[in-house]
Structure 1
Amino acid sequence: MPSVHETTLEIDLGALTHNYKYLSSKLAKGVKLMGVVKAFGYGSESAEIAKKLSELGVSYFAVAYTKEGVALRDAGITEPILVLHPQSINFEEIIESCLEPSIYSEFVLREFIKTAEKLGLKNYPIHLKLNTGLNRLGFIDPELNTVFDYLGKSDAVKVRSIFSHLAASEDWREREFTLQQLGKFRKMVFRLFENLNYKPFLHISNTSAVINYPEAAFDMVRCGIGLYGFGNDEKINEKLKPIGTLKTIISQIHEIAIGESVGYNRAFTATKKTMTATLPIGHADGINRQYGNGRAGVFIKDQYAPIIGNVCMDMLMIDITGIDCKEGDEVIIFGGPQHATVFAAKGNTISYELITGISQRVKRVIIEE
């Protein structure tokens, strides 16, 4: 990959292709894959990710909010797009952009039907979200009678799919709970099928469930974090390739004498002569203060350099004592020699939070296959 001259997030479409093919290989014939591209494609670049996944054969896309789906449409994405957390104020915009809402409560169902009827629509696709134990969004079993009532009185909408979300499919200690969720899902789906004169398709599996619960694939699986190279398990991580590499450069090098301090609040004081480098990246870019004061580090020419002192808004400082480097040299924050999961763990967090938190002011560079 080319050297960078500024803070850059490199996005490797070859790695994306590898991850898609690996996850697809775990699916039985006929099971479709939905690509989850919410949160700017998990902090990468949603439009380019979606275009590549479209080329690879993804059947559906999912986003969290309406504006994310509109952005995909504006980028030329034509596949169906599920909006996982639609808000009533956006219902007309959803319809204008041919997006498909997740319907997770009586209020959302009532208001979306009202909007669809006002616009004179018939059989507009919706997706019923069932709450099987995550207790975040979705209908519980006793509420299904209300769903039947609304659907029976209007032909403005038609259920395209029924789905739920697993709470701990990556954790074998929670296997019993996951199996209970699957049981609840099957029971609720059976009730829905009994009351509808058609059978929507079903999906509940996320990336971890694709690996750990192949029997839960149903008609489609929803893959998010796995497409970006993370599997919630060290063995699975070995099979996947992270698509993002966060790089920056050395802005300035300093020689710090014994007793001199570095950064805000003098959080670092040299106990020996120390060489430091200042990097143009900080907590406004997604590398938060929790990584400072030696808790995490970066790599220069495959050598580890710990972050020292407090991370600043736009800069951070590292200890480069003993490393042969100069101003302008490339620095790798994560990717390459340091897996993002490892870097995140040093800040007592997870890869999801790290990669989705990379600021949009960081330049994105697409690396073709």
Structure 2
Amino acid sequence: MLRRKIFERSWVEIDLSAFRTNLNILKSFLEPQQQFMMIVKADAYGHGAREISKIACEEGAVYLGVANPEEGRLLRLQGCQAPVLILSPCLKNEINTILDNDLAVNVSSLDFARALNKTAKTKNKQAVVHLKVDTGMHRSGILDSEFIDFFNKIAKMDNLLIEGVFTHFASAENDPEFSKQQEERFWNIIDNLPFTPTYLHIDNSNALVNGLGKHSNLVRLGIMAYGIQVPGNKDIALQPVMTFKTILSQIKHIAKGESVGYNRSWTAKKDCLYGILPIGYADGYDFMLSNCGVVFLDNKICNVIGRISMDMICVDLSPIEHPAIGDVAILLGGSALETRAENLVSKYGGNSYELLCQVGRRAKRYYFQNGKMIYSTPLSRRDFVPDDFSDSKLNQIIESAIAQRLQSIEIGELIYREMLRDFFYYKDKDIHYRHNFQHQVIFSHSLNAGYFNATTTLNFDKVLSNDYFLVACASSDEVLRRYFKRSDVEYRWLMDDSFELDSKNFIVCLAKVDDLILQTTLHYINGCLEIRCSHPELKKKIGKRVHFTINTLTLYPCSSHQFSVFITELTRGVDISFRFPLTINTVDCVPFFSGQDKDPIIQRNNGEIRVSSKPEEWIFPISGVVFAY
């Protein structure tokens, strides 16, 4: 009897060791010049594209194959950097996704190729393409009689790189004569190309084990790597990678002559026991298995009786001597031949591909390696992708996730409200942060008694949002506070209230964006001196990361005995230096950093204190340093 280790209504187990074994078996059929592409479309046939891709790449896969740009984009979001080829024809509105995620694409339309080339040019990119030739399957691809002309036209497009040419066998597992005709057509085309692309691929798993396509240099491994024996192929020792399990949730008696399920399609021929399994066609257990499916329960094969319901199936428990609630039932996969996908679908003329892709729609996936569970994935068959949700829904998800992680609704709500909501509600949707923040402050003796000359130089990188920015100077903390939430203000200064707010007492000596020296205009507005920094060429830089330089000169009272530098925006990498006359005997430094590291590096030299973080460290707003003298 199978011991229950996972307590779910149903679950899917993925054996990564079995997958690795299957890959190595298939690799043994490769010719010396051949490499392989792992097909991971449809979430790796229901097995989990991220996990399967990782193992495949470890085993030498040089490419991953997906069905559409969204599948490729999801791999990128999951951190996959391997080359990815979209195997199905794409739409023009998917071109940006293709280019932005560095995906290679199947091209079999001149109109699409022109659109792809045009967009790639605007992005200053070269799109990688594989051209598909139709050698007889008559699905997608360019007819062999038209392919050479098509190839030559694509080759003239400057922003497209022809990396591969490929075709697809229609019936490699059971029609060797037609498959050889397809091969001859393919190689005749290749022999007449003006140049040979890097990759030439024709083989799928079926073709590989049947000795086809030996002259190609790339093989697409799919269904067989997942442990499915395809009728007509050589019988090789492949292991099922996926096992779909559930539990026996109820045991009932039925009398001879009584029926089970909708439409009374099964009638008991004798008094017997039968069991309820809490899964149905909504879980991906195909409706066509009604009255013909089997499950493996207590090391016995039990027949499915009656019609498959949306959420339940019934099984005959006659073969089992002592059935018990909670016993584990294997619906698909496992060690029994009868529950292998290819044998189940043969009972109703179905397709293994379909069964694998639809199984476990409401089940968690658990991944095993060398017999040990290493991790699990959620019920959803798609990982979390922020673009799937509206802003309001994302806000709910974020707050809920924090509360779940901290096991406290109250603390989660507090963190969300006080630390994150400012970004989501009060900032522009495009939240840009400062990078490489360097602020140098120099105090020197002044002719004005009781004051230091204060020279400041601020440097940082940031994405430019406007064709101008403001420097704000006020003599009132209340007035200056109004400028802290404005996204167009890049520098703020609190002036001693004994001075007039004018260009003589607070000077912007230099304002630059990259190499552009900006023009400055002064306005006195509601108790604040606003210095507008602009340049006609800034419009061209909006949306791009640029380097800001702001240099100011003013006076600062000696009697203040402290000087503060505030970080007012999300910042990555901080370097703040304070230089002072040697006549100041002692200067204390009090940093208050909120972020990854609350204790920055403090360096002291004669007449200078420098406070810095590592370049990659994040510093949250309203952090800073107080220099006390």
TM-score interval, smaller chain: over 0.9
Contact 1:106 1:146 survives alignment (8 Å): no
In 1, Cα distance between equivalents of 2:187 and 2:173: 20
If the length of structure 1 is used for normalisation, what is the TM-score? 0.93
Contact 2:130 2:165 survives alignment (8 Å): yes
Q: CA deviation at 1:347?
A: 2.3
In 2, Cα distance between equivalents of 1:358 and 1:187: 42
Q: Given the alignment, which residue of 78, 101, 108 partners 2:105?
A: 101
Residues 150-180 of structure 1: CA deviation (Å, up to 9, x unaligned): 3254211110111000111111xx2111111
In 1, Cα distance between equivalents of 2:268 and 2:117: 66
Once the two structures are overlaid, the 10-residue window that deviates more, 207-216 or 301-310, is 207-216
Q: CA deviation at 1:10?
A: 0.8
Q: CA deviation at 1:366?
A: 0.4
Contact 1:35 1:53 survives alignment (8 Å): yes
Q: Given the alignment, which residue of 197, 211, 215 partners 1:213?
A: 211
What SS does the corresponding residue of 2:72 show, helix, strand or coil? helix
In 2, Cα distance between equivalents of 1:283 and 1:14: 29
In 2, Cα distance between equivalents of 1:341 and 1:199: 37
Q: Given the alignment, which residue of 115, 138, 145 partners 2:119?
A: 115
Residues 208-258 of structure 1: CA deviation (Å, up to 9, x unaligned): 111112553511100001110124147744421111111110111111123
Q: Which residue is equivalent to 2:353?
A: 352
Contact 1:125 1:160 survives alignment (8 Å): yes
Residues 15-43 of structure 1: CA deviation (Å, up to 9, x unaligned): 11111111111112231110001111112
Contact 2:281 2:287 survives alignment (8 Å): yes
In 1, Cα distance between equivalents of 2:31 and 2:345: 33
1:287 matched to 2:291: no
Q: CA deviation at 1:260?
A: 2.9
Q: CA deviation at 1:329?
A: 0.4
What SS does the corresponding residue of 2:134 show, helix, strand or coil? coil
Q: Which residue is equivalent to 1:53?
A: 56
Q: Which residue is equivalent to 1:142?
A: 145
In 2, Cα distance between equivalents of 1:277 and 1:237: 35
In 2, Cα distance between equivalents of 1:270 and 1:231: 34
Q: Which residue is equivalent to 2:422?
A: none
Once the two structures are overlaid, the 10-residue window that deviates more, 209-218 or 161-170, is 209-218
Q: Which residue is equivalent to 1:78?
A: 81
Contact 2:284 2:361 survives alignment (8 Å): no
If the length of structure 2 is used for normalisation, what is the TM-score? 0.55
Q: Which residue is equivalent to 1:269?
A: 267
Contact 2:244 2:360 survives alignment (8 Å): no
Larger radius of gyration: 2
Structure 1 stretches of 4+ moved >6 Å? none
What SS does the corresponding residue of 1:204 show, helix, strand or coil? strand
In 1, Cα distance between equivalents of 2:329 and 2:186: 47
Q: Which residue is equivalent to 2:7?
A: 5
Distance 1:51 1:183, change over 3 A: same
In 1, Cα distance between equivalents of 2:85 and 2:153: 21
Residues 64-117 of structure 1: CA deviation (Å, up to 9, x unaligned): 111111111112111100001122221110111111110022232222223222
Q: CA deviation at 1:308?
A: 0.7
Q: CA deviation at 1:271?
A: 3.2
Contact 2:254 2:272 survives alignment (8 Å): yes
Q: CA deviation at 1:62?
A: 0.2
Q: Which residue is equivalent to 2:342?
A: 341
1:320 matched to 2:322: no
In 2, Cα distance between equivalents of 1:250 and 1:217: 52
Q: Which residue is equivalent to 1:167?
A: 170
Q: Which residue is equivalent to 2:485?
A: none
The answer to which structure has the higher strand fraction is 2
Once the two structures are overlaid, the 10-residue window that deviates more, 316-325 or 142-151, is 142-151
Residues 165-196 of structure 1: CA deviation (Å, up to 9, x unaligned): 0111111xx2111111001101112222x2x4
Q: Given the alignment, which residue of 21, 24, 46 partners 1:21?
A: 24
Distance 1:209 1:92, change over 3 A: same
Q: Given the alignment, which residue of 42, 45, 59 partners 2:45?
A: 42
Contact 1:13 1:368 survives alignment (8 Å): yes
In 1, Cα distance between equivalents of 2:157 and 2:354: 41
Q: Which residue is equivalent to 2:384?
A: none
RMSD: 1.9
Letter in 2 for 1:110: R
In 1, Cα distance between equivalents of 2:253 and 2:121: 70
Letter in 2 for 1:147: F
Contact 1:210 1:217 survives alignment (8 Å): no
In 2, Cα distance between equivalents of 1:341 and 1:145: 40
Residues 274-297 of structure 1: CA deviation (Å, up to 9, x unaligned): 21111111111121221112x121
Q: Which residue is equivalent to 2:134?
A: 131
Question: How many residue pairs are counted as aligned between the two chains?
Answer: 362
Distance 1:2 1:184, change over 3 A: farther
User: What 5-or-longer segments of structure 1 have no aligned partner?
Assistant: none
The answer to which structure has the higher helix fraction is 1
Letter in 2 for 1:318: V
In 1, Cα distance between equivalents of 2:76 and 2:345: 33
Q: Percent sequence identity over matched residues?
A: 35
Once the two structures are overlaid, the 10-residue window that deviates more, 79-88 or 259-268, is 259-268
What SS does the corresponding residue of 1:258 show, helix, strand or coil? coil
